[in-house]
A and B are shown apart, each in its own frame.
Chain A
Amino acid sequence: MKIRVRYFGRFAVEIGTYSEVLDVDTNLKVRELIALLKRLHPELKNEILEVSIDGKYACDNMVVREDVAVYPPISGG
């Protein structure tokens, strides 16, 4: 299954792209996607990745779908 992953904030800066298309297994879980992204982009190894799928917050055990966004928790004011 092809998915489009959009990267927000410092993640996009760290890996050098705002989005990419990946070919992944159907029924891939969010936690597995996070592990995959960290393997593909070692810059994210120590980051906490928040994920949304089809515009909804995605828990670790949710199944990945086509529209994925990955963003960091941020705290500045």
Chain B
Amino acid sequence: MDRYSRQRSLVNQKKVESARVMVVGVGGLGSASATLLAMAGVGELLIVDYDTVETSNLNRQILYREKDVGKMKVEVAKKRIEEINPHLKVNAINKKISKGFKIPHGVDIVVDGLDNFEARFIVEKASIESEIPYVFGAVEGYMGMVTFIDKNTKRLRDLFKNVPRGDEQVLASTVMLTASIQSMEVIKFLSERGDLLRNRLMVYDGLSTNYMEVRF
């Protein structure tokens, strides 16, 4: 039995292990997605963030500990991800998402771990220009959303009339659930399996335990 023996019939492990996945933002969503993708055996993770770990991150950002407060997130995240799976390559990019952001050559898919739409629009644009899919995710309170965007789907501007900054309250449970769905989309895409969330926004509300799909 090897490390991936319990998932081999579920995924195209060879493709997963040769994939380069970029996680933009390693806060709540990004920490969880990076963890799940590392466990699944993604070949290379490129993690992007410019922030340092704060005490208020620790209720939901699974890669960080109290002793990490004040340290660069990408450096701590790289170390933890390599502990989770030492067989993958982790490329830590200490950078703020700003206009002109480009997706490095060879990346297969981009995962959203961002906390604002200004940066999301930049990453979405860069992804579309590079013909690389982008898995949007967002959270607030008990509520999460996910969709899969590529050059043939609707874009973020089509999904929302306006995008104000929302409430900053959020639970780890919401983050984990949302990032689980995002990382599952990545695995499905890499494995060429299943029905991706193209032109469909998945919305989950944990308080009412209601799920819905909004088609576009």
Contact = CB atoms under 8 A, between A and B. Distances in A.
- Do A and B pair up? The answer is yes
Interface of A: 6, 8-10, 12-13, 18, 48, 50, 52, 55-57, 69, 71-77
A76 B28 contact: yes
16 contacts: A6-B210, A12-B205, A12-B207, A13-B207, A48-B160, A50-B161, A55-B212, A55-B214, A57-B158, A57-B216, A69-B203, A71-B143, A75-B116, A76-B28, A77-B114, A77-B137
B160 A50 contact: yes
B208 A18 contact: yes
Top 3 closest pairs, chain A to chain B, by CB:
A77-B115, A9-B143, A74-B140
Query: Which one of B114, B143, B161 has the highest number of Cβ atoms from chain A below 10 Å of its Cβ?
Result: B143
Contacts of A55: 212-215
A75 B166 contact: yes
Contacts, number: 105
Most buried by A among B115, B164, B170: B164
By DSSP majority rule, is chain B's interface helix, strand, loop, or mixed?
mixed
Q: Which of A8, A57, A74 is the most central at the interface, judged by chain B CB atoms within 10 Å of its CB? A: A74
A73 to B, nearest CB: 4
Contacts of A52: 212, 214
Contact of B160 (A6, A18, A69, A73): A73
A57 B214 CA distance: 6
B210 A73 contact: no
B100 to A, nearest CB: 21
Contact of B214 (A9, A12, A56): A56
B114 A73 contact: no
B43 interface: no
Interface in B138-172: 138-145, 158-168, 170
